[in-house]
Amino acid sequence: MISFENISKSFNGKIVLNKLSGLFKTGQISLVIGSSGTGKSLLVKCLLGLILPDDGFSLFDGRDLVYGDKLLQTEIRKKVGMLFQGGALFDSKNIEENIRFPLDVLTNMGTAEKKERVHECLSQVGLPDVAHKMPNELSGGMKKRAGIARAIVNHPKYLFCDEPNSGLDPQTALKIDELIAEVTYTYNMTTVVVTHDMNTILSLGDFVLFLHQGKKLWEGCSKDILHTNLVELEDFLFVGKIKELLFKEKRKIGVNN
């Protein structure tokens, strides 16, 4: 469980996050949604202590990651898995080395144990035969799968995903969503996903947090999101859905632009 209270952050006098409070529950997928520039990714960075908030705090199962002592911060961060927007694989390392990296840095596992764990994760994400391939040999969807394997290799309690479906076709995006759901429920993790993807918003969110101009304007689950009368949320969902439908129609008739 991740709780946060009154998280605020300003840059050059401009308020970007304005007293945000919330709760992301264990065993659930929590979505952070909103238009570009509304503070979604910044909120995640503040929760993780990558950027210090001007005010407020976050607790990981009651433990303070941002302001706790160094040993506590290290202990918590060992239990955090990250799936970055572009996969963020090291170009100079093969897939096995990429996925093994958190184990090399954060654990005292032996070589054989690391290898076994890496191949276990690759099998779980449907990539059992790519261990010795380089990242440039994989498709975009396969890179995201490899990124998920790396994110879960250290048995994390908390999983953060930044726009996991960015740049993917709808069918591949759906598979990534299904995979995120599978690992969340299998490992009983607290999963937080920053997303614009309409299919993800309408189907994956056990909990949805809608940000607008740095403020929390709505929270609830995906099945309730279409029944709100909040104008800002309706505008966000409507515009996003129209763009998605236009994209699908263009694909049907072969229009590229």
End-to-end, the C-alpha distance of the chain in Å comes to 43
Residue 188, Cβ density class (10 Å: 0-12 exposed, 13-18 middle, ≥19 buried): exposed
**What digits encode the pLDDT tens for the residues 111-159?**
999 999 999 999 999 999 999 999 999 998 899 999 999 999 999 999 9
If you write DSSP's letter for every residue of 130-147 in order, what string do you get?
-TTS-GGGS-HHHHHHHH
73 vs 102, more confident:
102
Domains observed in the chain: 2-79+157-253 (3.40.50.300), 85-155 (no CATH)
Distance CA 73, CA 66 (A): 7
Provide the residue type at 253 as one letter. Answer: I
**What digits encode the pLDDT tens for the residues 214-228?**
999 999 988 888 888
**What digits encode the pLDDT tens for the residues 11-56?**
998 999 999 999 999 999 999 999 888 899 999 999 998 999 999 9
> Which pLDDT score is estimated for 247?
47
> Which pLDDT score is estimated for 87?
66
**What digits encode the pLDDT tens for the residues 82-106?**
988 766 889 999 999 999 999 998 8
Strands of the chain, DSSP E: 2-11, 14-24, 29-33, 55-60, 63-64, 80-83, 158-162, 190-194, 207-212, 215-220
236 near 218, Cβ under 8 Å? Answer: no
Band of residue 248 on the pLDDT scale cut at 50, 70, 90: low
